[in-house]
Structure 1
Amino acid sequence: MTRPTDKIRPVTELVPSGAFSYPIKMPKPTRWFGFLLLPEFTLLAFSSALDTLRIANQLAQKPLYGWVVLSENGGAVMSSSGVQVGVHGGLDELGTDLHVLVCSGNHGTEAASPAVLGAIRRHAKFGGQIGGVCTGAAALARAGLLGNRRFTLHWENQPGFIEAFPDLIPSTRRFEVDGPLMTCGGGAAATEMMISIIAEDYGEDFAVAVADMCLNRADQGQRLEQRSSIAKAINSRNPKILTVLRAMYDHIEDPLTLDDMADRVGASRRQMERLFNRYMGESPAQTYRNIRLDRARSLLAETDMSVLDVATASGFNSADLFSRHFRARYGETPFGARTKLRKAARQED
């Protein structure tokens, strides 16, 4: 099969030099990505995704990944920051061997033209893989390509997206990889998404090396939420939620009951649950549990406390219950997380 960039850019240019290397002895065939830029795309999200691939090639000193940057008509595209970005080609470069990532910004539900929607539909129909960066999932939704798969887009744009597509509910996680579909909320999540792909292709150790070059962490998994509990609470501007949240952070080792917290703000337990579901998108019990699990994860990384002691310090009276909730949130056991976090810390040193 002809490489998608044969007419645009020789593959040798995709291996930049650098001071640090991490040899890959048996590289797979070059994996190609196509970044389709829509008007007013988010520059940070696009560059975070693309440059992670460049760093992987630099470390390996081999063309592990290739990329082409595309636009509807093959011309430069203006980003939301007013910076124009040149591209390699237009929609006719959408070969099925490209994993196409649609990059858009605040106007994601409107940015894709009928020609773009038709092109990505055809790409998917004939076996091409697709994805979205920042609000790129909105274009995929308009093209009818999300189906029953997990997906996400930037939290700021999720309310408008749900209004436009009430039958499609985006994840609140930083990124999602569901089979051939990969989507992220933009920014650092774009880096994290690409690192997860690199880990799948070449293992955790190489992915950690790439993450270090990005001044990122390889363990920032897709299970993490886009927004912290504090950010969501501040955004709600609801004084009762803010008061309850402060109480949660003040009582991690000795958790309060939901009734106790409701009494603090003069509300019933049911009223408090309604407030959290409305403004936080989850129950107060889930918010509280996640705060305690985040504290536990920090203790596992930063102290020599036993897992049982970490569980107790995080307000869990059962190590088994703690491990079950930890695995559900982070996709690994506390023991596995400690091993991975310590390994990453040693490599940073």
Structure 2
Amino acid sequence: MSGALVPLGAAYYPVGDVQKTKSYAFLLLKDFTLLAFSAAIEPFRIANQLSQKPLYRWCVVSEDGRPVRSSSGVEIAADAALASVDRDTVLFACSGNLAGGNPAKSTLAFLHRHFRTGGMVGGICTGAVSLAQAGLLEGRTFTLHWECHPGFVELFPNLPPSKRRFEVDNRILTCGGGAAAADMAISIIRKDHGDAFASVVADMCLLRDDAGANLGQRTSIGAALHTRNPGLIEIVKLMTDNVETPLSMADLAEKVGYTKRHIERQFQRCLGVTPARFYQNLRLDVARGLVTETNMTLFEIAAACGFNSKSYFAKTFARRFGHPPSRVHHRRRASGEKA
């Protein structure tokens, strides 16, 4: 790994003597998310710039040392191949979908060996998929992008991801991607150099310094629905938590202490849709994610989303999205074969 980059800048914030420059390697996997990758690096660059000291250094690696194409189509050159990463370097896997960039078995073996010999590993956006495939997440607290949670749980039923923006579990660091990658990097800087310095780094990133790990990845249900109605929010939460085995209207009414008629009126008044249709659409949205991101059969997806009939599932899917699930399924398989 080359020396640390210490660029000049107008802003300055002094820190103490640097005992050792910390090293990070970012393993780019096919279709990685460019936003999350750059958001993870920039706070370290800003820390060096503010302090005018080599606090951090980083490099970009790929499985074979060749450039890697991001999900936006932009290719990023690698500094070296994965095999060049030493044990003292924190190794982050960067990917952008539930396939996790389809890392080679040798890559998963390297991740496993790096951790088992004392190294730190991490996952950015959906990088946790690679860590799970490498057998590193059992009994760990971790996260990945919320969009991939349903599919991840289907693939790894014994590995429930956290809904928080990022997680630090001893030598395993994971984040949900996007701005959460910067939040995680700033938390590392805070631990290394204190609150005041980390706050200035956050200011330079134009980020709120209180956007820590304890915040969820998604907007609250109430904010998303544009309502403060506690009963309605509770019902939607129950629906969200019960996709595979949908609750009946009678069950929902009993759990929140409302009549079925009152629930129907609240949904129509606040959301302009019946509770039954809202619940069905919610399950179909989960199903679309599974169709797009997993290799599950349509029968398995229908069952996982509470549809007893594959034909009825296909009919309602087409009504919501304008095309049958088989079209997305076939398109995904075709693109996978080309890759």
What pairs with 1:57-96 in structure 2 (closer than 5 Å)? 57-96=48-87
Residue 84 of structure 1: CA displacement? 0.3
Partner of 1:259: 257
Whether the 8 Å contact between 2:98 and 2:129 is mirrored in structure 1 is: no
Which one-letter code corresponds to 2:233 in the other structure?
L
Which one-letter code corresponds to 1:36 in the other structure?
L
Whether the 8 Å contact between 1:233 and 1:242 is mirrored in structure 2 is: no
Q: Secondary structure at the match of 1:27?
A: coil
Percent identity of equivalent pairs: 48
Does residue 1:228 correspond to 2:219, yes or no? Answer: yes
Which one-letter code corresponds to 1:245 in the other structure?
I
Which one-letter code corresponds to 2:143 in the other structure?
T
Does residue 1:33 correspond to 2:21, yes or no? Answer: no
The structure-2 alpha-carbon separation of the partners of 1:246 and 1:183, relative to structure 1 and needing over 3 Å to count, comes to closer
Residue 264 of structure 1: CA displacement? 3.4
The structure-2 alpha-carbon separation of the partners of 1:58 and 1:261, relative to structure 1 and needing over 3 Å to count, comes to farther
TM-score (norm 2): 0.68
The structure-2 alpha-carbon separation of the partners of 1:262 and 1:214, relative to structure 1 and needing over 3 Å to count, comes to farther
Q: Output the CA distance in 1 between the equivalents of 2:222 and 2:135.
A: 32
The structure-2 alpha-carbon separation of the partners of 1:114 and 1:158, relative to structure 1 and needing over 3 Å to count, comes to same
Whether the 8 Å contact between 1:42 and 1:103 is mirrored in structure 2 is: yes
Residue 148 of structure 1: CA displacement? 0.7
Does residue 1:18 correspond to 2:9, yes or no? Answer: yes
Residue 218 of structure 1: CA displacement? 1.6
Residue 87 of structure 1: CA displacement? 1.2
Residue 41 of structure 1: CA displacement? 0.2
Partner of 1:213: 204
Which one-letter code corresponds to 1:163 in the other structure?
E
Residue 106 of structure 1: CA displacement? 1.4
Residue 246 of structure 1: CA displacement? 11
Residue 263 of structure 1: CA displacement? 6.8
Unaligned runs of 5+ in 1: 249-256, 281-349
Q: Output the CA distance in 1 between the equivalents of 2:8 and 2:17.
A: 19
The structure-2 alpha-carbon separation of the partners of 1:153 and 1:15, relative to structure 1 and needing over 3 Å to count, comes to same
Q: Output the CA distance in 2 between the equivalents of 1:40 and 1:247.
A: 37
TM-score (norm 1): 0.66
Deviation digits for residues 227-274 of structure 1 (CA, Å, limit 9, x no counterpart): 11238966xxxx9x99813999xxxxxxxx94369773159xxxx9xx
Residue 93 of structure 1: CA displacement? 1.3
How many equivalent residue pairs?
251
Partner of 2:179: 188
Whether the 8 Å contact between 1:244 and 1:261 is mirrored in structure 2 is: no
The structure-2 alpha-carbon separation of the partners of 1:262 and 1:44, relative to structure 1 and needing over 3 Å to count, comes to farther
Q: Output the CA distance in 2 between the equivalents of 1:148 and 1:246.
A: 30
Deviation digits for residues 172-219 of structure 1 (CA, Å, limit 9, x no counterpart): 001001111110000000000010111011000000000000000121
Residue 97 of structure 1: CA displacement? 0.5
Which one-letter code corresponds to 1:24 in the other structure?
V
Q: Output the CA distance in 2 between the equivalents of 1:144 and 1:108.
A: 16
Q: Output the CA distance in 2 between the equivalents of 1:118 and 1:127.
A: 14
